[in-house]
Amino acid sequence: MTDVAPVGERRQLAPPVDDSGALGWIRRNLFSSWANGITTVVLIVAVGWILSWFLEWAVFTANFTAASGSECRAQGACWAIVGEKWRYIFFGSFPYEQHWRPLFAVIAMLAMLILSSDRRMWNWRLIVIWGVGSFITFLLMFGEIHLPLSLFLFVALAVGAVGLILRRNIGAAGEMNAYRALAAIGLAGLVLRIAGILPAWSLAIAPLSYVETNLWGGLPVTLILATYGLVFAFPYGILLALGRRSELPLIKGLCVGFIELIRGVPLISLLIMASVMLPLFLPSGVTFDKFLRAQVAVILFAGAYIAEIIRGGLQSLPKGQFEAADAMGLNYVQKTALIVLPQALRVVIPPLINTFIGFFKDTSLVLIIGIFDFLNTANQALVDPNWAGFPGEIYLFAAFIYFIFCYSMSRYSKRLEIELNRGTRR
């Protein structure tokens, strides 16, 4: 009866456990029960032991300044091999005295990607960014570029046709007349060029010495294969996804067959076909660069996977979105480009980025046809007998570079997903 409070008085209760701040978070997440506490302690000890061993090997007893591998036979890591071979790892067999060219090409590609990640650039500026950036990149890598007249005519036709389709009943009269003029000039010029009336004129830009693609290697090759492979595979995958959902049996059948065929074989087989078998089917004297054939194989393979991801996003949209677009009087292209695709792409951001990360790493498979990307040039750096016996350091360095790119893509996709779904989150 002593613990019963007198009438009219309240019992004084013990203060609540503090769940705020760092200590509260630790108590709530790491030591919420005796089992969680034991698990936390065991994992901390294990991680601490592994981390202490790694730091001892990689930092405290490591050798950073050895002149050869024979001076690096101590207990710790030999990071001197990275300092000695970093130029070959990053740029491969590109002429040594011109390594500044692939360096600035990589900077140009990174600048394009960084600017493209800014949503304020998702307009006509994006076309300018990629046009100028791509021109600088390939001019630095090749040393000279020849722009044929057919390319200018095709661009004019494409811009005019796309503008007429997307801006019909929306754009101003002057804008539509400009699109009609571009389409007419491009179409007429291509017809005259095919007929042989227009000469095979080309604009030659050659400020630097020419470097063949078989001398390319390292990080520029990885970035070019992954970046331009996915850039071209993305619209191609969208067309496949739309074709697979088409009500026309022939188009749907062709798209389904192509997607299943490409997804049913490994990327290595496509690379071998593009490198070995494709030249056998070409007319005599006609050939394509090996690097270009590998790029096409990557585009075909990535496009089939992207098509299935986008198809899932299209199927997730409610039927009312399609009906609302029809009620606005939009044609099929306008409805798809302005209403349907933006919502579908927003839904499938996580699987799309997962595919992008996977194909960025899969570029290492081009070694099978004799192209040396970043991982393969890192592996070739171990061939030097003066630095043999240190694969761990080289592969850890390569893994660190891959991690930077993949982690950056992952974090950007998470931020983009949050921004685009801000109005629909629950």
Give the tens place of pLDDT for each residue, 36-75.
Answer: 889 999 999 999 999 999 999 888 888 888 887 778 776 7
Percent of residues in the chain assigned helix, strand, coil, to nearest 5: 75, 5, 25
Given a contact cutoff of 8 angstroms between Cβ atoms, the answer to whether 186 and 156 are in contact is yes
Beta bridge partners of 217: 372
Question: What domain range is 219 assigned to?
Answer: 88-98+215-420
Domain count, the chain: 1
Of 23-32, 231-240, 406-415, the least confident: 23-32
261 is a domain residue = yes
Residue 383 in this model has a pLDDT that exceeds 50:
yes
Q: What is the pLDDT of residue 15?
A: 59
Task: Report, as an integer, the average pLDDT of 286-308.
Answer: 88
Q: What is the pLDDT of residue 234?
A: 92
Task: Report, as an integer, the average pLDDT of 119-137.
Answer: 90
SS3 (DSSP) at 238: helix
Q: What is the largest CA-CA distance in the chain?
A: 112
CA dist 82 to 125, 387, 390, Å? Answer: 39, 10, 10
Task: Report, as an integer, the average pLDDT of 251-260.
Answer: 92
SS3 (DSSP) at 391: helix
SS (H, E, C) 16-56: CCCCCHHHHHHHHHCCCCHHHHHHHHHHHHHHHHHHHHHHH
Q: At what angle do helices 100-116 and 124-142 cross, to 10 degrees?
A: 170
334 is a domain residue = yes
67 is a domain residue = no
State phi, psi for 78 to the nearest 5 degrees.
Answer: -115, 85
Helices (H) and strands (E) in the chain, counts: 18, 4
Residues 301 and 295: their CA atoms lie apart, in Å, by 10
180 or 27: which leads in pLDDT: 180
179 is a domain residue = no
CA dist 283 to 56, 200, 279, Å? Answer: 61, 21, 8
Q: At what angle do helices 173-195 and 149-166 cross, to 10 degrees?
A: 140
Q: How far is CA 105 from the centre of its chain?
A: 16
Task: Report, as an integer, the average pLDDT of 298-326.
Answer: 89
* Most confident region among 17-31, 255-269, 283-297 by mean pLDDT: 255-269
Residues 6+ apart with CB under 8 A from 115: 121, 129
Of 230, 205, 188, whose CA–CA distance to 359 is shortest? 230
Residue 291 in this model has a pLDDT that exceeds 70:
yes
Q: Which helix (H) or strand (E) holds 218?
A: strand 217-218
146 is a domain residue = no
Residues 6+ apart with CB under 8 A from 203: 146, 147
Q: How far is CA 260 from the centre of its chain?
A: 23
Q: Which helix (H) or strand (E) holds 290?
A: helix 290-316
Of 255, 418, 238, whose CA–CA distance to 340 is shortest? 238
Q: What is the pLDDT of residue 327?
A: 83
Beta bridge partners of 146: 204
Q: How confident is the model at residue 216 (pLDDT cuts 50, 70, 90)?
A: very high
pLDDT digits (tens, 9 = 90+) for 184-214: 998 898 888 888 888 878 888 888 999 999 9
Q: How confident is the model at residue 397 (pLDDT cuts 50, 70, 90)?
A: very high
351 is a domain residue = yes
Q: What is the DSSP letter of 79?
A: T
State phi, psi for 194 to the nearest 5 degrees.
Answer: -65, -35
- Report the percent of the chain where pLDDT is more than 70: 92
DSSP secondary structure string, 155-199? HHHHHHHHHHHHSTTTS-HHHHHHHHHHHHHHHHHHHHHHHT-S-
Beta bridge partners of 408: none
CATH at 392: 1.10.3720.10
Q: How confident is the model at residue 160 (pLDDT cuts 50, 70, 90)?
A: confident
Q: Which helix (H) or strand (E) holds 312?
A: helix 290-316
255 is a domain residue = yes
pLDDT digits (tens, 9 = 90+) for 347-363: 898 889 999 999 999 88
Would you state the structure tokens that stand for residue 230, as one six-digit string? 């996915």
The pairing of beta strand 145-148 with beta strand 202-205: antiparallel
pLDDT digits (tens, 9 = 90+) for 225-253: 999 999 999 999 999 999 998 888 899 99
Of 21-25, 46-50, 156-160, the least confident: 21-25
pTM, rounded to two decimals:
0.85
Q: What is the pLDDT of residue 398?
A: 93
pLDDT digits (tens, 9 = 90+) for 261-273: 999 999 888 888 8
Given a contact cutoff of 8 angstroms between Cβ atoms, the answer to whether 211 and 95 are in contact is yes
Residue 424 in this model has a pLDDT that exceeds 70:
no
119 is a domain residue = no
Would you state the structure tokens that stand for residue 287, as one six-digit string? 């050939």
Q: How confident is the model at residue 1 (pLDDT cuts 50, 70, 90)?
A: very low
Q: How confident is the model at residue 4 (pLDDT cuts 50, 70, 90)?
A: low
SS3 (DSSP) at 147: strand
Q: What is the pLDDT of residue 7?
A: 59
